[in-house]
Structure 1
């Protein structure tokens, strides 16, 4: 590695403050913040954190929508040796309480609209000492600004190492209560380093790039993307929250060149009337991930958006991408469009069967990875950490297989697998087949109890506007497309599918009413 290249988050802003002080680091709602300004203000906030009595390793939460201040605070945490705990503002009060209590958060930065919620929760949060109100545009001089005023803007020396904790990100909680994955500095640099080691430009940043942070930085995928952009010294275009119309406008007017999105975001952008090829003319690269993408949507993206596409596969616990599907595989009708990708340089992927052996080529099993970006562990949960990481291998919780060339193909989440009379049915395969019907906008497939077969396949279907179709018509359309035992025996039509903030379908919510009153979620 080049010795001058930062390898911990605390070193990023100082490096670019020296190399390109006036280059915009952040563009947010019409205002740009240069790297020198970001460095000085994050220094000031870091001094204020230490002045508040926080010690190294103390947890600092952020509760609010995205803004330039969020990234200033993120760097301030790194510079003070404290650990950032991003809190999704869409969560309910009990969910917020769980994160603040579980993380032993000592200080919370909160936007005004969440202060009442914090006031109600605070008596039960013994570790919480300080709440700092974030300024609104109309309240400069109060709250956050006043809190850091008077503190130095000089550099701090924390002597951080790549293995030190810098963030604690809570899992989306698709099963059980969310757990705090403790992330080290090294996780944020692993992908860029692996690309350099492999001589690859599948995921890259160039000096003049303007990177749109579409996936929220309050989740590890978005935070990872933004920090890679900051590390490269590019301009990061920040949205308070993702809106398809606003994203299309920003890409066009701000000259966005690269972004990382979830497939649902691509769908929302392409559904906008302003989404023409000209609107996306500045884009050179689109990285997508966080949930599966349908072949129909990907084909539409390739037709409208004239950019290189790269699929990234990861998980919060993995710390960074573990596999990538390169641009060269993204061609209409390409043989590997359904693949997840190849392991990143320095990352190992293997498939493990239910009986613990390594699967043969083409044989499905659980995906396990060994990656230098892996989390340090779950906060205060050694049992869950030991179950997730065995002998250095992270169990991803996904079912998949490797082909003869090492390409990874995912079948589904292990826990989402439906077992019909002893045969595994992977929902994604059925959902893709349903998505090819012209009346279907999207579908989610779940297992429901069946007295004869143990489980039966049920499809929750969202229809395209103005379209009608019967369950029988859908069933007949699947004949010959997938094996008979995979074809849903029942169908329900819904207006929308429940999703978590990163766009993943919450099949557990769809299953609840079918399994209510049963001891377990399997028959």
Structure 2
């Protein structure tokens, strides 16, 4: 299969259906398909040839959606970039993958022109004209190249804000396997529904829902960036049925003043991932969105991206609330020890995954590829255990695990306790160097609005609930935690800022 096949099916069966909604701009299936074909022809005229990489840099929009399809239509490979990166980081990715063209938002174009590298063309997306619209106006639609199967769909860079980015190579078969497998549960996105893109579309988590909605006749509603009022207004105005968010976004929605004044009764599925959801937050979110089925998705870019799912009915079981769910229909998941063999149930080891959704490898990095793809399994670097029913419980990143006095301390376990304290809005636990213990547990806490709490109170709270060696030896109060564009806390940044040279 090829990703653009879904667009052809929609043109044949329902050409007048709204496919994209961005602000006041609504485009039908037929209009979108025409623009995609014209954009592809324009890219070809600029010199984009079979297999060439085309970088995308921009916020959520209907043009970003058209670019994802247009590059594939032109037989190219899409490279979505994080618009929060510095120009130097963007330039690295462009040069690393050898991109021949860049499609960029007008507001971002000037800052990256000096990082052009191998670029033969820069296409600017803007409401006041711009070369994007000129390409579409000047060219007749070209036939679809029908790029698909094991051919590359995209190169998706991981990291960037935490170290040298690696470009995960994902084929059409990879992203379609993940989407169809997730849809097979019947609890992912609503067929024929309306999907809100509030998380960044360059991130594979949101793109996974984009593919799923494309396959099932959905309408894509985009907001330029996440804001609580913007999201709630869009849900109410457009009768949104599905959206994907990270827990930090859900917290902002649940705590937004006047949240209950919005009509969110249309929301059927709220998919979340990227970080564990504290129990108290989950309960509050479920009270704010009472008609939504909550779905937790665990995975990573290299898995296109879904590995496990915790479905709405499974959220009803208290013991499973901390689980990442069970293997999705398209994935095989196991927990392995250091010897690569499957670990006994209940034993912490590394999550390993295999299936048709596993990436081809990292662009231009064979050593990095061979380090994680071994014996047909993708070794994720996540530490977890699996219970007797196949539910996976993530405990930490293996490289982030703290070893203090010879004892393993999983940061997520400590964070889960701190997040239960009513005066804690968010927290991150990291390991810092310690002459006596090797590493010491250190907690960085964002107090809840209007809440007051001391380090002594938090220490006592933890001592009542954790073994002594797991209790943080230091507490630090901050106004906010650094996060990636996908809402993940940047722990490497926190560690680097606090290490003694």
Q: Same-fold call, TM > 0.5? A: yes
Q: For residues 145 and 449 of structure 1, what CA distance do their matches in structure 2 show?
A: 54
- Residue 132 of structure 1: how far off its partner (Å): 1.5
- Residue 223 of structure 1: how far off its partner (Å): 1.4
- Residue 445 of structure 1: how far off its partner (Å): 0.4
Match of 1:95 in 2: 89
Match of 1:152 in 2: 140
Match of 2:177 in 1: 190
Match of 1:229 in 2: 213
Q: For residues 182 and 23 of structure 2, what CA distance do their matches in structure 1 show?
A: 32
Instruction: Please list, as runs of the form range in 1=range in 2, the aligned pairs for 1:329-408 lying within 5 A after superposition.
Output: 329-331=314-316, 334-408=318-392
Q: 2:74 aligns with which of 60, 76, 80?
A: 80
Residues 1:172 and 2:172 aligned together: no
In 2, are the aligned partners of 1:277 and 1:305 still within 8 Å (CA)? Answer: no
Match of 1:181 in 2: 168
- Distance verdict in 2 for CA 1:133–1:194, change over 3 Å: closer
Structure 2 gap ranges (5+): none
- Residue 154 of structure 1: how far off its partner (Å): 4.4
Match of 2:312 in 1: 327
Q: 2:120 aligns with which of 116, 129, 140?
A: 129
Q: For residues 407 and 486 of structure 2, what CA distance do their matches in structure 1 show?
A: 30
Match of 1:280 in 2: 264
TM-score after normalising by structure 1: 0.93
- Distance verdict in 2 for CA 1:441–1:195, change over 3 Å: closer
- Residue 230 of structure 1: how far off its partner (Å): 1.4
Match of 1:3 in 2: none
Question: Residues 337-378 of structure 1: CA distance to partner in whole angstroms, max 9, x if unpaired?
Answer: 011101011311111123433211100011111121111111
Match of 1:521 in 2: none
Instruction: Please list, as runs of the form range in 1=range in 2, the aligned pairs for 1:463-474 lying within 5 A after superposition.
Output: 463-474=447-458
Question: Residues 72-115 of structure 1: CA distance to partner in whole angstroms, max 9, x if unpaired?
Answer: 11111111110111112111111111111111111111222222
Residues 1:66 and 2:57 aligned together: no
Question: Residues 261-280 of structure 1: CA distance to partner in whole angstroms, max 9, x if unpaired?
Answer: 11111111112223118532
Large movers: runs of 4+ above 3 Å: none
Instruction: Please list, as runs of the form range in 1=range in 2, the aligned pairs for 1:254-273 lying within 5 A after superposition.
Output: 254-273=238-257
In 1, are the aligned partners of 2:179 and 2:211 still within 8 Å (CA)? Answer: no
Match of 2:403 in 1: 419
- Residue 192 of structure 1: how far off its partner (Å): 4.0
TM-score after normalising by structure 2: 0.97
SS of equivalent to 1:170: strand
- Residue 472 of structure 1: how far off its partner (Å): 1.1
Query: When the two structures are aligned, how many residues end up with a matched partner?
Result: 500
Structure 1 gap ranges (5+): 1-6, 518-523
Instruction: Please list, as runs of the form range in 1=range in 2, the aligned pairs for 1:451-466 lying within 5 A after superposition.
Output: 451-466=435-450
Residues 1:219 and 2:203 aligned together: yes
Match of 1:30 in 2: 24
Question: Residues 27-82 of structure 1: CA distance to partner in whole angstroms, max 9, x if unpaired?
Answer: 10021111111111100111111122211111111122121111111111111110
SS of equivalent to 2:56: strand
Q: 2:474 aligns with which of 490, 493, 498?
A: 490
- Distance verdict in 2 for CA 1:120–1:339, change over 3 Å: same
In 1, are the aligned partners of 2:324 and 2:391 still within 8 Å (CA)? Answer: yes
